[in-house]
Structure 1
Amino acid sequence: MAVDPDLSPKLSWKDMLLGGEASPSVSDRNGSSEGRENDFELLEGDVSTAMVDGMPTIAFSERIKIILFKEMDLTIVLKLLGRNIGYNSLHNRILSLWKPAKSFHLMDTVNGYFLVKFQNIGDYNKVLTQGPWIIYGQYLTVQPWTREFNPLQPYPSVVLAWIRLPGLPRYLYNRKIIEAIGGLIGKVVRLDFQTDNRTRGRFARLAVFINLDKPLISQVMVDNTVQQL
């Protein structure tokens, strides 16, 4: 496996959420830390602690989780398959590939995963629905961040795949109908442009996020007829 060394400073998770530059901390003139973590207060019942089998445990209320998960809006997970890549190299490459309308913030985690926080929903959708994105001849996987994301997994559990519906009856060539069929497989993020405009009658093609932790689907039933994928 090739390695791309990179010793440049990286954004911390706090820096990324605050939209700042990489730095040891964000402080005011008096040296005290300030940031978005002070935008909400911990109320009674928001934090519960206990000892379980001799281990200190802590849990947070659903209210706090909703606030924290909201901060992850417009965040995607990246991983370059088959090769390690440094922070600056990846940043420069995706900046060139994506040509975003607004700046984004990149942070590395573990196992070669990176998180990208976008400021613009158009940039976010573009990265998820276009591609494939290739860097150094290797496939760059992209997936929306969800609360189930686990950076300790060696490989992504969700991938974007193009699905075809060969032999789909002509009367079903409608955006909403095809999206509903695709929804049986996974989250539909894009339809083939020609399919959407009804200029191609042989098959429908759509991009779907597939969960690799679940059994792969090779066929579905559409109006009592088996549809191969």
Structure 2
Amino acid sequence: MEEIVVLDEDCSVDGSGAIPIIKFSERVQEQIDRSMSKSVIVRLLGRTIGYKALLDRIIALWRPRGELQLVDLENNYYLVKYYCKALFRRIAMVVGKVVKVDYITQAGKRGKFARLAIMVDLNKPLKSCIGIGNFIQKLEYEGLQQICYTSGIYGHSKENCVATSSTT
């Protein structure tokens, strides 16, 4: 998602009333619209239903062409985001060869993560995070018990790292 740029001339504040009112230029409004065009906030009214039931119902009603992610925002509010697997694949290619992009396996985590299966060369240092625009995303590796993020090497812990002991 690209960052919204607000210049001084894009913003006006009216403080003459009881509540200050801020207004943005048409240019900023268009940027906001573009950034939110693939997101919807859903609020459940009346009887609550489970996370999985809500996700299944949204998919049945909307019949999306791509992948949806449902994020529990608490208090019966949910964020529905449309994602393109190609975007995740492109980001993941920085880490290694992409084998699979999977949203469904994380439904138990209430939709806050996408799981990516990526082939990595364990003879090379592993990345602990990745920059996505101005955002830094922490990476987690499943099934690899001993990863030293000081050296990026798999097979030993930070306490036993040669790189750490040589710098002290």
**TM norm structure 1:** 0.27
Instruction: Select the structure with the greater relative contact order (CA < 8 A; seq sep ≥ 6).
Output: 1
Q: Give the helix-richer structure, 1 or 2.
A: 2
